[in-house]
Chains A and B, each alone.
Chain A
Amino acid sequence: MSRLASLYQSSLGKKFIVAVTGIVMIGFLVGHVAGNLKIFLPPVDGGPGVGMQPDIDYYAHYLREIGEPLLPATAFLWGARLVLLGSIILHVICVIQLSTQSSAARKTAYASRKYSRATPPARWMMYTGSALMLFIVVHLLHLTFGAFGGGFEHGKVYHNLYDAFNNVLWVVFYVGSIGIVALHLYHGVWSLFQTLGFDNPDRNRGLRRMAAVLSVGLFVGFVAVPTAFITGIAKAPDHIESSEIAAHQQDENAVENEEKE
């Protein structure tokens, strides 16, 4: 424990925590984007009493059940939430302390300043990070707690998304925020490997590329959802439900007919 304490004393140790919590949150984002893309999948049968439902609603329900029956219901979900909450708190505390240390390290600014290597995404980490913090709060209030109303129904993910992204303001807000995530990660994903002492001249190109691919990939994946709704590629929920149920019934009829024949 005293070693962890002494690690935390130094800026290198705090950066280590920033990097590790960054990895945890990136892992979450990758899972999150994969889940979101389920809006493009055809509806699935939610089982007795539920019937056909959008794939993403089914998935949202499944998230509550991960780990059952070994763990009590929603235990895994809450575990994951706590790990994420802990990560973001540690991440933010450490970056605030690091920034405080750095601003104390130069009290007089240069009259003239030219950067030759420091990229804007790297220089903006504190701005993009703080914007991210705000985004996370608004996003949770909006699509987890339904605090902004607008016909929000718990568990009806597809319906809620459809509702939200009919409003161009929400689309702009989400696309902008995801752009900020991408900027944060464009520097962050590479930086974490350097912080952990993993980068070297052999790996540098690969890691730099990975950061670019991951940040752009996450951007494209996340933006696909609001785009699909505002452009009408993703259909209205009732439209899906009724037409797909009809299709489903047709399939069943076809099977029955085949069997008869």
Chain B
Amino acid sequence: MKFNIKVWRQANSKDSGKFESYTVDNISGDTSFLEMLDALNIQLTKNGGDPVAFDSDCREGVCGMCSMVIDGQAHGPKPATTTCQLYMRHFQDGAEITVEPWRATAFPVVRDLVVDRSAFDRIMQAGGYVTVHSGPKPEPNSIPIEPEVAEEALDAASCIGCGACVAACPNASAMLYTSAKVSHLGLLPQGDPERKHRVLSMVEQMEGEGFGSCRNYGECEAQCPKEISIKFIGMLNREYLQANLLDQANPRGKMSPQ
């Protein structure tokens, strides 16, 4: 197969960047999108050019590194798929394919298609942990959890932190990611002690990173490779409102009858 690849080239975070078009030929339909880019890079290097920088690690859909917007959709046209799991047979022979980095102020472009997603790590650090004691481990089944709840928590936990939700969102909002992280810990009894602190500080961190606000478009869920449901955004809203409006601000405050 033959493709015309229109790809974003940007030397570093200061560079203004622009699109360049390249032609790749003799690509088998069973080549993954990343392998196609590898082929393009070999061709570029042979001709003395700079290879296109892009991130990848696992190449099996679990690490969330292979971030790029392909023809206007995060990770390309196939739902529930990361770029590494996208194959060239999903495209028409001879097609022009536009490839751009995630576009979000909170994810600055480092080079070409590589963006810095450490804003997500800082949201995680702000509250994405549970307290465990370091003494002898308890019997694993000593904390009963309803199987449905465990499954629901696992659904949220399947978020790989790729950032496609932010890339896809017309507002570049990080609500789907943050809600997945808040919910996966908050749903489990192990995560309960930090529950209130978690939602407040993760949301505060998210806001501080410069993401946009959620307008409930649902675009994030549609483009999330793990199909994380926007129901977790609803849960996050509820947790946050509860923590902010209904929970006691100062549980040890004084009262007076007069």
Contacts and interface: CB of A to CB of B under 8 A. Distances in A.
Q: Do A and B come from one complex?
A: yes
B73 interface: yes
Given A6-B244, A11-B207, A194 B72 contact: no
Nearest to B96: A112
A125 B171 CA distance: 13
A149 to B, nearest CB: 41
Contacts of B6: 111
A102 B172 contact: yes
A114 B72 CA distance: 5
B170 A10 contact: no
Contacts of B229: 201
Contacts of B223: 116
A109 interface: yes
A196 interface: yes
Contacts of B72: 110, 112-114
B151 to A, nearest CB: 13
Which among B213, B214, B219, B240 has the greatest number of chain A C-beta atoms within 10 A? B213
A128 B71 CA distance: 29
B219 A117 contact: yes
A3 B249 contact: yes
B231 A106 contact: no
B85 interface: no
B213 A98 contact: yes
Interface in A189-214: 190-191, 194-201, 204
B238 to A, nearest CB: 3
Contacts of A123: 170, 217
Interface residues of A, number: 47
Contacts of A194: 216, 230, 233-234, 237
A251 B90 CA distance: 78
B237 A117 contact: no
B223 to A, nearest CB: 7
Interface string B224-252: 00000111011111111110110001000
A118 B207 CA distance: 22
Interface stretch (A12-20, A67-75, A171-179): A12-20
Which among A15, A191, A194, A201 has the greatest number of chain B C-beta atoms within 10 A? A194
Contacts of A260: none
13 contacts: A6-B244, A16-B237, A102-B173, A104-B105, A105-B105, A105-B106, A106-B103, A106-B212, A111-B19, A112-B71, A114-B77, A197-B237, A197-B240
Interface of B: 6, 8, 19, 69, 71-73, 77, 79, 98, 100, 103-106, 170-173, 203-204, 207, 210-219, 221-223, 229-231, 233-242, 244-245, 249
Interface of A: 2-3, 6-7, 9-16, 98, 101-119, 122-123, 125, 187, 190-191, 194-201, 204
Given A9-B207, A197-B238, 20 more contacts: A2-B249, A3-B244, A10-B203, A10-B204, A10-B240, A11-B207, A15-B213, A104-B210, A104-B212, A106-B171, A108-B103, A110-B69, A112-B98, A115-B170, A115-B219, A117-B219, A117-B222, A197-B237, A197-B240, A199-B234
